[in-house]
Structure 1
Amino acid sequence: MTNIPEGKQMEAAIQNSFNEAKKLYEKHGIDVDDVLEQLSRIKISLHCWQGDDVRGFLNKGRELGGGIAVTGSYPGRASTPEQLRDDIDKAFELIPGRHKVNLHAIYADTDERVDLDELAPKHFENWVKWAKQKGYGLDFNPTCFSHEKASDGFTLSHPDAEVRQFWIDHCKASRKIGEYFGRELGQPCVTNIWIPDGYKDAPIDRLSPRVRLMEALDEIFSDPIDEAFNIDAVESKLFGIGSESYVVGSHEFYMGYALSRRKTVCFDSGHFHPTETISNKLSSWLLFGERLLLHVSRPVRWDSDHVVTMDDELLDIARELVRGKLLEKTHIGLDFFDGSINHVAAWVIGTRNTLKALLRAMLEPVDRLKEIELQGDYTSRLALVEEFKSYPFGAIWDYYCRNAGTPVREEWLAEVKRHEREVLCKRSQGEGSVV
């Protein structure tokens, strides 16, 4: 028997499996090479706040607020901008493709004592320098929580005009930072506004806070910004911790606002009723809206922000985007923060799953299925959809990862564990170590 090195055997097995899988898909008119080219152009926006449990670097020591909570104390979370960037780099080494990083305002990299309403592009120069060097894009979010001026649960809809102006000024500054990102990096930055405003119990006046929010947003967006570099988005929520009965920025509010002001709506997969899914909303919104921002999360019990797994809803979101040819109008980002597992591994699992779901959707015979549906042959439609669930998309994914220079299958976990031993655990001496 020929003594073939293990690595060569693996390479041959990946190539052979790909060749056989490709033949199966080609029988249905699916151009696998074209699919992989399309997949390589998709950018997932990796949320920085998974890497440090949403602590940020602006005004360190401030407690989380605004209905946001992180559970778990896994050792090694980033505590400096340099550590966070190193961890993001490590995650991207293990994820095929070229992607983006999503920053919150509290992640400013500066020694200057500055409040949220005073932030400027200069406070993010190190992030831009790093992104340029690595070839990443950047997205942005004003941080309308975890601040004394948000301690009563209201920001842009606050009844106090002075407090409200503070948050207006912060959001205006954030849009300018987003425009700076887009101009410097040559790709648009999506600047997404989410606020926690709402009441724990049923309010008497539901209208006035929404009037204040509408007027505040109008003032924010009145500043001229080049849309080639900055895309404005607004994000709704159903309810939150401390706002269980009423949220000012509801889905209906932002749908109306975004359509009337030509803004982008953010659909977060955890921000709706537990029995409600966003996959069925995408085509409806994009009939009328110009763009869509997705925040992909996993709401185990509503908005619990678990690491994304390849569950039915993720697959349905991917299928809806692919079947409706909606990907070019959609910006995809992740939004979860799990402090109970390795922070880098969480990024890798969630991003790879999102990409795999999109690949699976792209490897369906969509045109053939649409034709069968129009003919009223629902038997064949159901049969083919079910059979394609067990087609060998994994062989295509393995080939894609290998060609991208990223680990195949679970090989990435060994590198994460090495990074944990050599880097993360050394950061957290005194917090314990992980076996």
Structure 2
Amino acid sequence: MSDSCASVEQAYQLARERYASLGVDTEQALARLATIPISLHCWQGDDVVGFEQSGDELGGGLAVTGNYPGKANTPDELRSDLELAYSLIPGKHRLNLHAIYGEFGSHVPDRNEIDTDHFTGWIDWAKDQQIGLDFNPTYFAHPKANDGLTLAHPDKAIRDFWIEHGIACRKIGAAMGQATGTACVTNSWIPDGYKDTPADRKSPRLRLLDSLDKVFAEKFDPQIHLDAVESKLFGIGSESYVVGSHEFYLGYAITRQTLLCLDAGHFHPTEGIADKFSSVLMHVPEMLLHVSRGVRWDSDHVVTYTDDLQAIALELVRGDYLARTHIGLDYFDASINRIAAWAIGTRNMLKALLMALLEPTEQLIAYEQSGDFTARLALMEEAKVLPFGAVWDYHCLKSEAPVGMAWLNKVKDYEQSTLLSREAECSAASVNA
């Protein structure tokens, strides 16, 4: 055993004793953490471009800034980048795909014509990597979404087009779940809304309700496929009115018994989603989280170890909601190394979960139930400075993931060997064209 490994082991043993003095079993916490998969979002790897090569702008309130070299341009490049990212993260995780990431060949079908054949490469790769897949219809970056409306569009032909897309995506998701042996969560988010104050808020929501019911008409085995619906407060171009508000989708999820997706960046800047879990899960079977970080009017910054993130993890553990919650990430940053963005965000999500699993929750609840709120507050504050970092380092070591900042060295090496040469090849191709 190397000196560095020995020091990690030694620090962990001291931390284990410290936690044990408060009734916390670190081995039990680590065993539980190892069973929690995080669904990495493919769109961080290429700035939400996909492989249609249609040239359409994102739209739908989405914008990616930055031009860090080396973004993935092909499915194989994206899979290579993801494999490195997974190697930097302790545990076994998932991949969240958008519909624009199919392998379409020389003939790119329109969105309502995609099928499972376009995702065979991803399914085979996922089976080889032994990871699960999740899926998303892509209701943006398309000529039929240029006016900001899709499933709520007043033109029936356009609504029908997007309904067909949604139906196709659910079938693809079910095929993914069947092939990988783990349920695929297909999440529906649409950008529909208005830039300025509408005169009629009701009609678009009635149209959306009808469209969703048609999309979800076919039922799938929940062992292979689950549906989720996702709200958003506003987007660029829909500042004044979003058809699919939180209240709309909360009602829809409850009445149709779908999953509700809560995105950490889709609410008011001072509004945390953790407080919603205990209410939402009284009425829906399961929940999907898109963990992100809102900054002012942008909802999709790289996840950092914030109070909001810790609150999410603590509520999942305290409420015993982990078994009913699917955790995914959703952000895009092209101003930094894209693989590092995956690693930073996912490792932070796992750190927050570990911190929550190491909390002396039973003692806190006992103080609360006895009315000793002084002791509750005192212990909550003391728990914040327990030697959590030593347990995290040990988890990485035992999972054969890099400890500390060692993961960044692997990213930098890959940047030199692969990403920069990829950028040079793209530049040369552009000049020749």
The reply to whether TM is greater than 0.5 is yes
Q: Does 1:239 align with 2:234?
A: yes
Counterpart secondary structure, 1:169 = helix
CA distance in 1, matches of 2:292, 2:104: 30
**One-letter code of the match for 2:376?**
R
Matched letter for residue 311 of structure 2: D
2:179 alignment partner in structure 1:
184
d(CA) in 2 for partners of 1:27, 1:302: 44
Partner of 1:293: helix, strand, or coil?
strand
2:384 pairs, out of 365, 382, 389, with 389
Q: Does 1:32 align with 2:50?
A: no
Report the CA distance between 1:287 and its aligned residue.
1.4
> For the residues of structure 1 that align with 2:25 and 2:54, how far apart are their CA atoms?
51
Amino acid at match of 1:287: M
Q: How far apart are 1:430 and its partner, in Å?
A: 7.4
Spell out the pairing of 1:332-347 with structure 2 (5 A cutoff). Answer: 332-347=327-342
> Aligned equivalents of 2:291 and 2:414: distance in 1?
26
Q: Deviations over 1:11-66 (max 9, x none)?
A: 11011000000001111221111111100000000000000000000234332211
Cα-Cα RMSD? 1.1
- 1:428 aligned counterpart, secondary structure: helix
Structure 1 contact 45–334 (Cα < 8 Å) conserved? yes
What is the aligned length? Answer: 426
1:142: which partner in 2?
A: 137
Does structure 2 conserve the Cα–Cα contact (< 8 Å) formed by 1:128 and 1:185? yes
Match of 2:404 in 1: 409
CA contact (8 A) 2:254 2:284 kept: yes
Task: Show the counterpart of 2:269.
Answer: 274
Q: What residue number does 1:372 align with?
A: 367
Q: Is the 8 A contact 1:273 1:302 kept in 2?
A: no
Q: Does 1:399 align with 2:399?
A: no
Query: How does 1:278-317 map onto structure 2 within 5 Å?
Result: 278-317=273-312
Letter in 2 for 1:12: A
Instruction: Give the 4+ runs in structure 1 shifted more than 4 A.
Output: none
Asked whether 1:93 is paired with 2:87, we answer: yes
1:210 corresponds to which of 194, 201, 205: 205
- Checking the alignment, whether the CA contact within 8 Å between 2:192 and 2:244 is kept in structure 1 is yes
Aligned to 2:44: 50
2:266–2:299 CA contact under 8 A, matched in 1: no
TM-score scaled by length of structure 1? 0.97
Contact persistence 1:76–1:428 (CA under 8 A): yes
Alpha-carbon distance in structure 2 between the residues aligned to 1:113 and 1:270: 32
Q: Distance in 2 between matches of 1:48 and 1:353?
A: 18
Q: Are 2:222 and 1:227 equivalent residues in the alignment?
A: yes
For 1:13, the aligned partner's letter is S
CA contact (8 A) 1:271 1:303 kept: no
Gaps of 5+ in 1: 1-6
Q: Check whether the contact 2:56–2:143 (CA below 8 A) recurs between aligned residues.
A: no
Output one character per residue of 1:385-413: Cα deviation in whole Å (capped at 9) or x when no partner: 11110101110111110011110011000
SS in 2 for 1:127: helix
Q: Distance in 2 between the 1:152 and 1:225 partners?
A: 32
Deviation at 1:333, TM superposition (A): 0.2
Which residue in 2 is equivalent to 1:426?
A: 421
CA distance in 1 between partners of 2:22 and 2:305 (Å): 24
Displacement of 1:304 after TM fit?
3.2
Equivalent AA in structure 1 for residue 113 of structure 2: E
Q: What fraction of aligned residue pairs are identical, expressed as a percent? A: 56
Hey, what's the Cα distance between the residues in 2 that align with 1:27 and 1:75? 49
1:277-331 CA-to-partner distances (Å, cap 9, x unmatched) read 1011111111111100000001011433110000000000000000000000000
For residues 164 and 302 of structure 1, what CA distance do their matches in structure 2 show?
29
